[in-house]
């Protein structure tokens, strides 16, 4: 199956690399960003140089609204990559509820509700694929990353649940768990 429409957080790092790889495989890419508009626009430029359509959409307060905008610009969504994540480095005895909530909300809650909205679109178009990015830290443990590890471990459990729930609609849900990566300043 040829992937035509692809959505990812992709202003830098893993998201940018995945988005450029998808464009090389003939996918049009929707780039989402939280605060790095310049990075997202750079990714869009690189994708367009590869001859593919691309658009950058900033994070909005409501995930449903963001996916409505995606529906207006692109007719279909084949793949969603949930790769947004903030680590929230904090020594265990110094973590505060606000930091915990920010990490869990961004990483786990955001992944769930983006998956739900993408699945609504995919269900109407006969299926698709959702890929969630976790981390090796969720299974191995790393000092000062308790909220991050918990959020990403939750993503692994959620992926299994979503795979069961969405299988009847021909929507595949998978996860992968990379280790630390060094960002290259020049992609493509």
Question: Among 128, 148, 154, 175, which one carries the catalytic annotation?
Answer: 148
| Rounded-to-integer distance, Cα 56 and Cα 138, Å | 30
Cα gap 81→136, rounded to integer Å: 17
- How many C-beta atoms surround the C-beta of residue 128 within 10 A? 25
Q: Could you tell me the CA-to-CA distances from 133 to 8, 38, 56, 123, 164 in Å, in that order?
A: 11, 23, 20, 22, 18
Reply yes or no on whether 148 is catalytic: yes
DSSP class per residue in 32-47: EESS-HHHHHHHHHHH
The DSSP result for 74-115, as a single string, is -S---EEEE---------GGG--HHHHHHHHIIIIIHHHHHH
Catalytic residues: 148
């Amino acid at each position: 199956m040829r992937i035509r429409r692809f959505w990812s957080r992709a202003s830098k790092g893993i998201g940018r690399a995945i988005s450029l790889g998808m464009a090389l495989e003939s996918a049009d890419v929707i780039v989402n960003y939280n605060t790095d508009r310049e990075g997202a626009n750079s990714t869009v430029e690189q994708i367009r140089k590869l001859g593919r359509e691309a658009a950058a959409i900033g994070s909005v307060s409501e995930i449903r609204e963001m996916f409505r905008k995606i529906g207006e610009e692109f007719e279909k969504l084949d793949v969603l990559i949930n790769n947004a994540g903030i680590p929230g480095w904090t020594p265990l005895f110094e973590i505060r509820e606000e930091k915990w909530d920010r990490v869990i909300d961004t990483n786990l809650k955001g992944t769930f509700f983006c998956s739900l909205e993408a699945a609504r679109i995919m269900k109407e178009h006969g299926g698709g694929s959702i890929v969630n990015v976790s981390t090796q830290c969720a299974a191995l443990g790393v000092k000062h990353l308790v909220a991050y590890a918990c959020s990403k471990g939750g993503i692994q459990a959620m992926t299994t649940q979503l795979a069961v729930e969405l299988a009847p609609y021909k929507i595949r849900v998978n996860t992968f768990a990379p280790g630390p990566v060094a960002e290259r300043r020049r992609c493509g």
